[in-house]
Amino acid sequence: MAQIVPSLLSADILDLKNLLEEFRDFGIEWLHIDIMDGHFVPNLSFGPQFVESIREGDKFLLDVHLMVTPPENFLDLFIKAGADLITVHLESTPHIHRVISYIKISGCKAGIAINPGTPVFLLEDIIKDVDLVLLMSVNPGFGGQEFIENTFKRLKDLRELCKSLGVSPLIEVDGGINGENIEKLLDLGVDMLVIGSAITRSKDRRLRLSELDSIIKKKQEGILELQFHKKVGESYG
């Protein structure tokens, strides 16, 4: 079943302890941590000490998204800090295979991210080596942006690419996800839904999480029901 992966980018750092407790109590398993260097994207965010402090205090799976260049200079810092999965941008280095290989040899899961303007077919030569593909549904660098509608087409293209190559990485989408577009994303097979300000800036975070989680569960129940009726139909067909 698809999972909500809260992003901490738009969180109030002074309220972080309470936020993480709420996520833990709700049953959140993954956290998405955006690392920005002010070069690859026009913003600065967290460092390895931030990841390390969360690692020491909680049992979340830490999904570290490196929006930095060159990522080679940052890998050891975040591996040592306790990242479980490190995602790097295809656009950030000419040595993407070397970077992905290093992440995996170091014991982390490896993800590949692409920006909204990068063609999906450019993933063809690396997608067999990664555990996760992250499609950015906003231009990276800032939280609270509006969802780019062309993401739906890009998801279809990605699914077709995976099918043609016989691979099945986790599919993650990041940026502008809310109650208005989440169902369509689920229909297109998204596994991990990175949601930031729609949760962290909500007046009632638990209620917002419950609303989004309810959409996912209802969609999953509908899929299982369709599969059941199809199986029964095939049995008596």
Cα–Cα distance measured from residue 121 to residue 192, given in angstroms and rounded to the nearest whole number: 21
Reported as a single tens digit per residue, the pLDDT across 9-37 is: 989 889 999 999 999 999 999 999 999 99
Task: Return the CATH fold of 3-236.
Answer: TIM Barrel (3.20.20)
Q: Which of 157, 174, 191, 213 is an active site residue?
A: 174
Reported as a single tens digit per residue, the pLDDT across 49-73 is: 999 999 987 789 999 999 999 999 9
Task: Find all residues with CB under 8 Å of 10, minimum gap 6, and list them.
Answer: 143, 144, 196, 197, 200, 201
Is 174 tagged catalytic? yes
Q: According to DSSP H, which parts of the chain are helical?
A: 16-26, 48-57, 75-81, 96-105, 151-165, 182-187, 197-200, 205-236
Cα–Cα distance measured from residue 217 to residue 222, given in angstroms and rounded to the nearest whole number: 9
Question: What are the structure tokens assigned to 97, written together?
Answer: 């295979």
Q: Which of 12, 15, 25, 34 is an active site residue?
A: 34
Centre a 10 Å sphere on the Cβ of residue 24 and count the other Cβ atoms it contains: 14
Is 34 tagged catalytic? yes
Stated pTM of the model: 0.90
